[in-house]
Structures are given as structure tokens and as C-alpha cells.
Chains A and B, each alone.
Chain A
Amino acid sequence: MYRKLVLVGVAAACLFVAACSNESQEGKSSTSTAGQETASASSSKTPEQDFDPMQKYDPPVEVTTVRSMNPSIIWDQGESYDRNGVYAAYENDLGIKIKNLWSVDGSQYDQKVNIAIASGDIPDLMQVNSVQFQQLLDADMLMDIGEIFEKYATSYTKEYVTRDGGGQLDSTKINGKMMALPYTNGVHNDSTYLFIRNDWLAELGLQPPKTMQDLEAISTAFTRNDPDRNGKDDTFGLALQKDLMSGSLGLQGFFNGFHAYPNIWLKNEAGELVYGSIQPEMKNALAKLKEMYANGEIDKEFGVKDLAKEAELIAQDKIGITYGLFWTGNYPLQAGAVKDGKVIQDWGVYPIVSADDQIAKAQLQKSTGLYYVVSKKAKNPEAIIKMYNQSIWAMDAPATDPNAAKYVKGKIQIEGGADQTYYVLNPTFVGKQDRFPVVGKAISKALAEKDPTLLPDSELILYDFMTDYLNGNTDHWGYAMQLKQGGTLETMYQYTQENRFVFNEYFGALTPSMAEKNSTLSKKQEEVFTRIIVGAAPLEEFDSFVEQWKSLGGNDITKEVNEWYQTVR
């Protein structure tokens, strides 16, 4: 379930990047940013100059990889995953020929990688998930790239991949050896927000919530006081779906409000790691949920509904509060909020609220769970580091830089055509870790002063979306939920300023006990929590769940996690 969530998140993040590469305006200021140094790839340097990590190979070398195909790419004529402008740019600028051993549809990628691992025939470079990463490590098929990363990664790359404080880079280090390149992405992307129907608040004369008590009062009022004025008792307070721990329409933000952090590892006072799902704060939150469910504030049938199904109720004006991620406005709220070009539901975005006088903090993962691994048999591993440098530089360069544009856009787009999402063709594409807080910090001022240059050059498309929306284009309502004053991105920036985050302190691979016990334990957890909420089990069952969790393997996992923690501390 959790992986699915991450995928959705990544997909949404990709949408964003896709959008960003959609720029076609001319005459943008071409301020030079850091990273220009790496652009010197195409300019030849003489041997007596300093060591140039980006020196072009002559004759060219070959790097093999495998690709997951993105069907949304609009190709320049005659191009494909095997032959395209991006690959040509790598060959021209760096002398690196990229050869795809195979490329498959995204839905089959994991399976095909599993087969590649099983057959022992892996390419020089490929993207894998954490389970596959662990298997490759166990089978000793990966190269320790620590030294060559140190030598060939540009200072810009090193800075770029540690903007999160280093957690994502650290997750690639196994026993002190760097065994993969991190697939970096926005570290704050999983933080949660409250979405509340402002029109319902106004109808009932209520104020936005400052505390969990306020939120409960609003939820009760939304349930009882007919906020949609249709004369029927058909509304609920809080949206909930069967995947309880989901960020979107789930309870992650609710639990965080009680300082409970399910499914992640926390540091206790003794400096040891403990599992969030079995802490006493969870019980308080479950007690409250049980009460809300009994009061009819939660859809009685949430237990069998997935996100899309529960979202139907929101679209039918039946639910007024939901927890969500920064993109929950785009999906699923947009579908119900905008009808025939008109905004018919007025949603407000609020920071998550706390049940006591302590500030509520959102839980986050340090690692993205995705890695670029280099085969032990790779002949030119440093070429892969060069590609990594190049893709990072190109993605972050100003949109007007024609050298960088080759890596991000296809010919059609450079000449001013449709969005081509060519950036996904970079075999080492990575996302920016601090991207959204940076946007959130600047967006309001940029909009107020009508000055897009306050935003990073690569984010201008977001400015255009918002101005478009303000000019009446309701297609961008979902983006407006992110970009408006007090929207999710500004709130995300506010979170970063107030340090309202709790990180999963464990970012290693699956421990042996986790691999063995996780499926049993997570099933137990889902089952017990759901049953407590719907009243099929008494609240006290939480205590026996904690005992069971420990005896069914949780203690072993805790021990292994703490052993790991000693090695990274």
C-alpha cells in the first residue's frame, strides 16, 4: 500500500516537472545559476588544466541501461526510447553512447528487472526499488561507487543531492560503502495538510481550526448541521479510505496531530529507535476516531472503499474535511470542485492541527526508496557519474539555456510546440529535494508584485498556471490549491520554517526480520486499527496488538533496527 502511495506521489511530482518543461515563452532573463561549470562538457580543456570530471570520452564509450517507458512522451519525428535527442546530446557532449538492453511499459518494469536480476544479466545502470536493491546487494552484483562518486561528481551535484540534509544520499550507503546513486526527490512531498470546505464553514458560521478540538467541532457540525442546506442528513465530517495510513484521504495527518507517527521509526529519550505504530499516542488517536465513527462523522463504509471510491462522496458534496498531500487538490478534489468550468466547492488549505499545546509535526521519510545502481561488471562506471552530473545540471538550468534544453525538451518543444516530457529520457533523472518549499516561499510575493523573476527560472510554468487560474481558467484549480496564498506549497514552506517534521530515523534496507515478519505485522495492524475504529473491537485491543506486535517478530525487528542505528550514528 505504502509503495503505491509513493508511486502516486512520484507520479504527481513528475506531472509537475512535466509541466515545468512546458515553457515556451521567449525573452526570459537568463540569469546564470550554479552548475554552469558543468556545461563546459562540450568545451574541450587542455590536459595541463585542472582535472575535469566532465571531460568528453574520445573515442566514445558505451553504457548499457534498461528503461521503463512513459507513454505520454510526444516524440520528435523518427525518435524513440532507443534513439532520441537526449541520448544524442549525451553522445555529442560527453562521448557516452547509451544503449537500452530493453525498454518496457512502466507497469512491467519491476517484473522485468526481477527477471534481469534472476538471470544474473544486469545492465551497467538501472533504476531499482529498495527490495531489488537489497537482493542485488545480497547477490554481490553491485559496484561500490564511493570513490568514483567522490572523484567525478561535481561539487554542484554533491550539493544538489544533499539539500535534504543528506538522508537520501545516506540511504545508498551500506556498511559505509556507497552502493547506489540516490534517486532524489522532494523530501517534504509526503507531508500532510488539512483540506476543509470554506463554503461550509461560512454557511455554519465557523472559524478555521487551530486545534484538534476545533477540528472535531467542525466535523460534528458538518455531520449534524446540514452544511449543504439540502435538508437531508447525508453529510460526513472526515473523509477516510480503507488504506488508513495513506497521506491522501487517510489518517496520517490525523495521527500526527496526536503526535503519533505510524509505520516509521522514532528516536526515544534513551536514544533508541522505537516503532511509531505501537506508541501510546496511537491509542488516543484511535479512541477519537472510534468516537467520530460512532457519531456518524466518518463514512460507515470506508473500510471497503479505496481512494477513488471515497472521493466520489467528496464530489457529491457529502464530505467537508479531508487530510491530503500537497497535490490532493489536483487529485482527487479537482474532479468534484470544478464542474463545467465553474468552481462549485470552495476548499481551504490549513496546516495540520494538534490535540495538545505541542505543535503538530508531519511525518516524513528520509529515503525515496528508489536507487540507481551500477553493475559490478560495468566497464565505465565514471561515465554514469558524468551522466548523473549532466542530468542534474540540465534539469536545474535556466529554461533559456539551449545547451540544457537538449536534455529536457524535444525539438518540437524547443521550437515552441507541445509539452513533450523529454526530461524523462535522462537515464539518471532525479528530482529536486527542496523544490516545493522554494516555490512556496516566493510564490505569493511573485503573484502580488506580478514579478515571475522572484521564482527560480525552472518554475515559471507554475507562475503561469496560477495567473491563468486567476484569469478564469478553472482547469488549473488544482494547481491553485498548491500555489495560492496559504496553499499547500506556502504551508509546506511554513512547515520547513517552523521545523514541523518528524523523520523516519530508519532508512536502511529491509532487515532479515522485516523481510520475514512485515507482511504478518502490517496485516495485523491494518486489521486491528480498522476494527477499533468501526467498533468491531474495543479500544483495549490496541494494548493486545502492541503485545502481539512485539511477540510476533516486532522485538526482533526493533533489535535489528537499533543494531543498524549504531552503525550510522
Chain B
Amino acid sequence: MRKKHKINWPFHAMLFPGVLLVFVYCYIPMAGIMIAFQKFNPGKGVFHSPWVGWDNFRFVFAMEDTLQVIYNTVFIAVLKIVVGFVVPILFALLLNEVRKTLFKRTVQTLVYLPHFMSWVILGGILVDILSPSNGLVGKAISFLGLEPVFFLGRNDWFPFVLVLSDVWKEFGFGTIVYLAALTSINPSLYEAAKIDGANRWKQTIHISIPGIVPMIVLVGTLSLGNVLNAGFDQVYNLYSPLVYERGDIIDTLIYRLGLESAQYGVATALGLFKSLVSFVLIATSYFVAYRFANYRIF
């Protein structure tokens, strides 16, 4: 026992700066959730603002919009999680079959690029591309003889535009994770399979996919915590009064409450509610992953 500790101490030391950062920036600010139970005034501070019990929560759930907003959030986020979960896996498997290294690397880099662009920029680009009168997509639809759709201005389309554009932006990043997992599969397995007469399809089913299952479970588990994260940056840059009905999400509501109307207490209460639900979801999904996939993160 003692000997093992001796070997491990440099690793623990290396861990220390990271733990410290998390502690300072993630744990200490948690004290701020007190604000959710106060009529917070920055001048009086956390310690002298009057306590109001559950009033902020009552206010949040008495607000007309709240239920619709929660529904929108879950709807958009779940779609994003599902599509954003499947696409990178498929793409990584396909890309893995490509023989030409140059082609493979080029594609990999290209699909990875949008990840680095901010939604402020992409928002402007999407407004142009999706314009029904002179955008690329609008032109293409009219070329097919159909009526162009005002994607960003219609409540029925808006959530799907959010999902598709988000997946387009992020799937390259997800792909890289799976590609890395695929390269770590022992090549001798493939050789053995080939000798046994397995074709590429069988190799994929029986070697590649099982090889990356731990990664799939890990990514899936972590993403479940995002069920209430519909993506503030994206929605804030793309939504408009026309699509408030289906596009307004918890985070944009918090933003308007907290930063535009300075109702810090109410905004914190809503944020705390969101965090609690996410916490329960993460805990559950971790438990599920542990029980059924026998996978442990820790």
C-alpha cells in the first residue's frame, strides 16, 4: 500500500492545479446560490440582502412563459443530444474506412473547423444563407420549384434549424474523439477477422463498434447532463420576436431576467432549478451506465 502511494504522488501533485481551479471557480461560487432565496441587492451584498424564502421560485413558476420555455429547452436539447450523438459515430465509422490518408485528414480538418467559429459570426452567416429571398438555401428550394421557407422566422421550423446548425458545427469535434478510439483498436483483431473471412461490414459490427462502446457510453452519459442546455450562444444570436414562442429557452430567459432586468434573485432561482434537474439526470445516467454497460467514469 505505502509503496503504491509513493509511486503515485507525482501524479497527485500534477492533479493539484486542476483541482484548485475547479475549487476556486466552480465550488466557491456555489455559495452564490443563496441569492436564489433572497431579494438580492448588489449594494447590500449576499450577506445583507433580505431573505424571501421560496418567493423567487414561486415567481418563476407563476410566470406565464416558464412552462413553455422549459418545454422548448427540453425539446431542442433532446433533439440535439440524439442527433449530435448519432452523427459523429456514423461519420467516424465511415471516415475510418477511407484508405487515402490525405483525403481522410483533409475531411477531418474541414468538418472540425466550424467548431472554432463563434455563434456571433455563424448567426450572421446563417441569416444570409437561410434567407428565403436571396439566400443559398432559399434559391435552391425555388430552383426545385418549391416555395422557399422562412426558416428563422417560423415557429414550426426554428427548433430544427437550431438542431441542424448545431450538429453541423459540432459533429466534427465529436468525430475526432471516436476516431481516436478507433485507432486504439488492436489491428491484429482486424487481421484475424479477415483470415476468418469477415467482410468490412462484419468487421465494423464485430470489432469497430464494440471497440468504441466505452467511448460511446462515456459521451452519451456526459451528454445527458445537457438535457436542459439548449445552447445559449446559438439561440441568442438566432432568435427573434417571431420565434419566441418555440425558440425561447431557459438560458435566454435567465439572461433577460438577470442581466437585462437586474432581477438577480429570480434569475438565480431559475438557474438553480436548471442545475438541480441536470444534476439528477447526470446522476441517474451515470448509475444506469454503471449498471447496464458496466462502465465507470471514476
Contact = CB atoms under 8 A, between A and B. Distances in A.
Interface of A: 114, 117-120, 131, 135-136, 138-141, 242, 244, 300-301, 303-305, 309, 515-516, 518-520, 523, 526-527, 529-531, 534, 536, 552
Interface in B228-265: 238, 240-242, 244-245, 248, 256-257, 260-263
Given A120-B43, A309-B127, A301 B241 contact: no
B150 interface: yes
B44 interface: yes
Contacts of B97: none
A303 B256 contact: no
A140 B41 CA distance: 11
Contact of B42 (A117, A520, A526): A117
Contacts of B242: 303-304, 527, 530-531, 534, 536
B125 to A, nearest CB: 11
Interface in B145-173: 150, 152-153
Interface string B51-88: 00000000100011100000000000000000000000
Contacts of B153: 301, 303-304, 534
B109 interface: no
Contacts of B210: none
B43 A141 contact: yes
Interface residues of B, number: 31
Nearest to B41: A138
Given A300-B150, A520-B64, A534-B153, A526 B241 contact: yes
Contacts of B150: 300-301
A136 B65 CA distance: 30
B96 interface: no
B45 interface: yes
A309 B124 contact: yes
| Interface of chain A: mostly helix, strand, loop or mixed | helix
B262 A131 contact: yes
A519 B238 CA distance: 19
Given A303-B242, A516-B263, A534-B153, A523 B43 contact: no
B43 A520 contact: no
A527 B241 contact: yes
Interface of B: 41-45, 59, 63-65, 124, 127, 131-133, 150, 152-153, 238, 240-242, 244-245, 248, 256-257, 260-263, 266
Given A138-B43, A520-B65, A527 B256 contact: no
A545 B257 CA distance: 21
A211 B124 CA distance: 37
Contacts of B261: 515-516, 518-519
29 contacts: A118-B43, A131-B262, A135-B41, A135-B262, A136-B43, A138-B41, A139-B44, A140-B43, A242-B240, A300-B132, A300-B133, A300-B150, A301-B132, A301-B153, A303-B242, A304-B127, A304-B240, A304-B242, A305-B127, A309-B124, A515-B262, A516-B263, A520-B64, A523-B241, A526-B241, A527-B242, A531-B241, A534-B153, A552-B64
A549 to B, nearest CB: 12
A139 B48 CA distance: 9
B65 A523 contact: yes
Contacts of B124: 309
A138 B41 CA distance: 8
Given A304-B240, A527-B241, A534-B153, 15 more contacts: A114-B42, A117-B42, A119-B45, A120-B43, A139-B43, A300-B132, A301-B133, A303-B240, A305-B127, A309-B124, A516-B266, A519-B256, A520-B64, A526-B244, A552-B64
B59 A516 contact: yes
B44 to A, nearest CB: 5
Contacts of B44: 138-139
Nearest to B252: A523
Contacts of B45: 118-120
B240 A523 contact: no
A560 to B, nearest CB: 16
Please name the 6 residue pairs, one residue from A and one from B, whose CB atoms are nearest each other, closest first.
A139-B43, A530-B241, A526-B241, A303-B242, A118-B42, A519-B261
A138 to B, nearest CB: 5
Contacts of A529: 241
Contacts of A138: 41, 43-44
A117 B44 CA distance: 8
A118 B133 CA distance: 49
Contacts of A531: 241-242
